[in-house]
Structure 1
Amino acid sequence: MAASILQRCLSPVQTFTKCVNYRLIARRCLLSPAYTDPAVWEQRSRDAQDLAQLATLMDRTYERKFPVSSLVIARFIDNLSSKEEVDQAQYYLYKFRHSPNCWYLRDWTVHSWIRHCLKYGARDKALYTLKNKVQFGLFPDDFTFNLLIDSFIKDKDFKGACSLVEEVMLQESFERVSTQILSLYALSQYLATKPELSLQEERSVGASLMLAGLKQENSAGFSARLLGLALIGKVELTRGIHAVFHEMPLIWTSGYLGRALAVMDAVCDFRDVKLSEEVLDHVEKILQDLSAISDGQNVTDAPLEEEDELETQKLPEYINRFKELKERLVSLDKMDSRSLESLVSALTQQTLVACEDADISEYQRTVNDWETERRQLIQRERETKEKNQKECLSKQ
């Protein structure tokens, strides 16, 4: 009797605990405060400088047709203290990019720029300079990309996050597992909003999905690969293979729809992996849309090249093969009722925490290496100034 009463009393508490734990897990699907904490970065030895003096120095240097050193632009970025100064720094980053020293922009300067943009509410400036990398020459490392993508995701700006993931894809920077997961999370959340994508956007999203999911040997990774390859295949059959690989890190060989079907075939033989039913429906819709194009012509009126015509003629074969593979997946119980968004969210909760410790440790080592390199440059700068002073005195 007492046990029964105790069980009834504890039942609401257990239910509440489960709800609390679920909410904590749902909230903890992105980077932790320890990952985004700027303490490691801000504990570096500071080289306090007057921005006005640095700006004057750079202006005079450029007027005299001399190059500004990487240390000067680094000091300018490191001493930013407001959003207005961030706006000013964008101009000097542009000037440095178009100077003879443009190849010597330091990695820590790029990281510092992104940190200051996040700190002073100028995230749009960070995104703009990254999207216009030719004009600003900013190529962040994976950790810096993670901080910026996470910031967009936490503000539910999934379109902005996907713009950043596109930059990661173009730089082929999916080496970190954390970057792969954050990218897949941003992409799946954005696609869940059912956006109207142009062919150009489908190509970018498709390439990002495919490359981000390429190293994930799980249901989320294979589903992302399948959808990504199908989206690229749609662009290939409507605009031709040259429209696919132009300015993209993709192979030049035709047959992206065939590669999508190869993913389905591989899952049939892959243990403990399923494909999202929603993704399969999306692929089927792509094939139906392609089939509906009259006479096998592309969306534009421009004629396709011979290799593209041959690929277009394979469409009926692809459609039949898709139906066969889908039936096989059903018979093998290889279809997951969850959406790509749900699969990636589950993967994020399971995996992201385990990635963080390694990333943070590596970041601490990287910051130390940056500091060592910075001190060496300062020492070299000091020695050069002393040498120049001695030469001037000897001439006098």
Structure 2
Amino acid sequence: MATSMWKCAFRLGYIRRCGITYSVLKRTLLTEAYKCQETWEKRLESPILQQVNFSEFLVELHDRFEKENHMSLIDVDIMANKLHEMDESEVEMAESLLNKFRKCQSAFPVRDSLVHAVVRAYIDLNLVDRLLVMMRDKPQYGLFPDYHVASILMDTLVKQGNIRDAAKVAYEMMLQEDFSHPVTRLLSLYVCTKHLFGENRAATSVPELTEDNGEEEWVAIKIIPQPFYDDHFDIKEENFLLGKTLYLLGQTLDNCIGRSLSLMGLGIYQKFPKAISLLEKWCSTDSASVVTEQSLKMFTDSLDTVSTRDPNEEVKDLGLRSLEDEIRLLLPTPEEKEKYQSQFQDLREKLKTEGRISSENVESAIESLVKEEIPKHQSADIEVLTELIQKWNQDRSNMLDEQLYQYEIREKKEAIEQKLIELQEKEELLTFFENENQIKLSQLKAPRERVVLKKGGDEDEDDLPMRVKKRK
């Protein structure tokens, strides 16, 4: 009963997290047909999936990995396509198996079919919060969302009114540095813009230097690692992720709104020199409207509130330096901040004098663009996804046939090897008198070894020759 209620939470139209209940919104950007739900559910009619009891298969897969330290792709694919049947007590075991599979050779390359199955199951079970954690941890789980599943996940979260988590999906696409797909790009624009102007957006967190008055503990190591901040996969601050995503999305729109998004994104991302350089470049174009007043104000706020670092502060020794210390080095000094403010103010005054600042509202413009453009691309995506699901079903059948074929080959090899052993034992028995001296010599060299001359008996090498002599 409890399990059924847990699985029905999504269907009832409510989401409960941390004691807060949110009603599900009815508005959605994609049509229901986009999910190809009917085609997706038809995969369960396959005998491969019908014959599997999920709970028993989960335990069997876990035990098999403990013995063989390996999982095949077809086994994990079957598990993933049955995840929608798991109950709350099986979630951790399923995630543990996904983590272990990531370390197997058969996990590469990452299959889109596997990611689709996991994402859709977690959506159905209302476990998107756990799903986002796994998606973020690429080394441990390897869940790289493709265009279709990212779009479905964002649309689902928008329908639930969960804009913040929808923006996290857009961050994942930003980390893959690919916004070429129109539907995914438009949805990312929508959720990131909504999150940008939302009231619940967290302030940017900057690592603070803290003084430790306690005793230092030194540990002997062979190599002192050099902390390195790649400014991409190492980004942890949500505002920086949002800023970089907005900057890349703005680059896909060659108009005033796109430039405004890039400017605001670089401000939140705290890349002030790059933003000023781009603004200078845009000022030299013949565009009637360069950026919006809204974006200029937001960039000003970001620049005015950014923390600064002391250029004369003592640099830590290599062994004591951390990634947070490297991040702090990217902050501007008070002199640099003042310089950026002066340069930006001059450019702003120039645009104002030339009348090239737009009063357009960025959020409204993006919302109108998304609602107008998305319907143009849905039909093509539905056709592609339908074909993909059918292909994945055929691939699953082919993989199972291949695995069964490999099992048959292995069994035949083992049977042949066993037959060879039996023939060798018979040959030793038949040629005993011819090789008696050689056998005795081998016994003297290795007295503890046993030479089995007759299969199936308990006699040792001393009993058999004595019995043969009596027969003679």
Is residue 110 of structure 2 the alignment partner of residue 97 of structure 1? no
Whether the 8 Å CA contact 2:147–2:184 is kept in 1: the answer is yes
Structure ID, larger Rg = 2
Quick one: which of 219, 231, 245 aligns to 2:268? 231
Quick one: which of 149, 171, 177 aligns to 2:176? 171
Offset at 1:201?
Answer: 2.6
Cα deviations across residues 233-285 of structure 1 (Å, max 9, x unaligned)? x3xxxxxxxxxxxxxxxxxxxxx323212433444425465423221101112
How large is the RMSD of aligned CA atoms in angstroms?
3.2
Is residue 271 of structure 2 the alignment partner of residue 264 of structure 1? no
Offset at 1:208?
Answer: 1.1
Cα deviations across residues 67-100 of structure 1 (Å, max 9, x unaligned)? 1101001101112324435554222212212445
CA gap 1:89/1:321 in 2 versus in 1, 3 angstroms: same
Quick one: which of 108, 133, 140 aligns to 1:128? 133
Q: Between Structure 1 and Structure 2, which shows a larger proportion of helix residues?
A: 1
**How many Å separate the matches in 1 of 2:353 and 2:31?**
41
Offset at 1:368?
Answer: 3.8
CA gap 1:284/1:38 in 2 versus in 1, 3 angstroms: same
Quote the residue 1:56 is aligned against.
Answer: 59
Is residue 259 of structure 2 the alignment partner of residue 222 of structure 1? yes
Is residue 213 of structure 2 the alignment partner of residue 198 of structure 1? no
Offset at 1:187?
Answer: 1.6
Whether the 8 Å CA contact 1:187–1:209 is kept in 2: the answer is yes
AA aligned opposite 1:220: I
Structure 1 spans left out of the alignment, 5+ residues: 1-26, 235-255
**How many Å separate the matches in 2 of 1:340 and 1:288?**
21
AA aligned opposite 2:41: E
Structure 2 spans left out of the alignment, 5+ residues: 1-25, 207-236, 317-324, 420-472
AA aligned opposite 2:341: I
Is residue 293 of structure 2 the alignment partner of residue 277 of structure 1? yes
CA gap 1:217/1:309 in 2 versus in 1, 3 angstroms: closer
Quote the residue 1:14 is aligned against.
Answer: none
CA gap 1:358/1:318 in 2 versus in 1, 3 angstroms: farther
Cα deviations across residues 159-204 of structure 1 (Å, max 9, x unaligned)? 2122222222222232212222211211221121242232423321
CA gap 1:273/1:75 in 2 versus in 1, 3 angstroms: farther
Quote the residue 2:116 is aligned against.
Answer: 111
Quote the residue 1:72 is aligned against.
Answer: 75
* TM-score (structure 2 length as normaliser): 0.65
**How many Å separate the matches in 2 of 1:309 and 1:125?**
33
CA gap 1:29/1:220 in 2 versus in 1, 3 angstroms: farther
User: Map of 1:1-396 to 2, 5 A cutoff?
Assistant: 30-44=29-43, 46=46, 47=48, 48=50, 49-80=52-83, 81-84=85-88, 85-103=90-108, 105-194=110-199, 195=201, 196-199=203-206, 200-232=237-269, 234=270, 256-268=271-283, 269=285, 271=287, 274-290=290-306, 297=310, 313-394=335-416, 395-396=418-419
* TM-score (structure 1 length as normaliser): 0.76
Cα deviations across residues 131-176 of structure 1 (Å, max 9, x unaligned)? 2222212112121111112212221212212222222222223221
Offset at 1:130?
Answer: 0.8
**How many Å separate the matches in 2 of 1:205 and 1:167?**
11
**How many Å separate the matches in 2 of 1:165 and 1:155?**
16
AA aligned opposite 2:347: L
**How many Å separate the matches in 1 of 2:186 and 2:263?**
16
CA gap 1:272/1:90 in 2 versus in 1, 3 angstroms: farther
AA aligned opposite 1:258: P
Percent of pairs with identical residues: 24
CA gap 1:363/1:218 in 2 versus in 1, 3 angstroms: farther
CA gap 1:369/1:261 in 2 versus in 1, 3 angstroms: farther
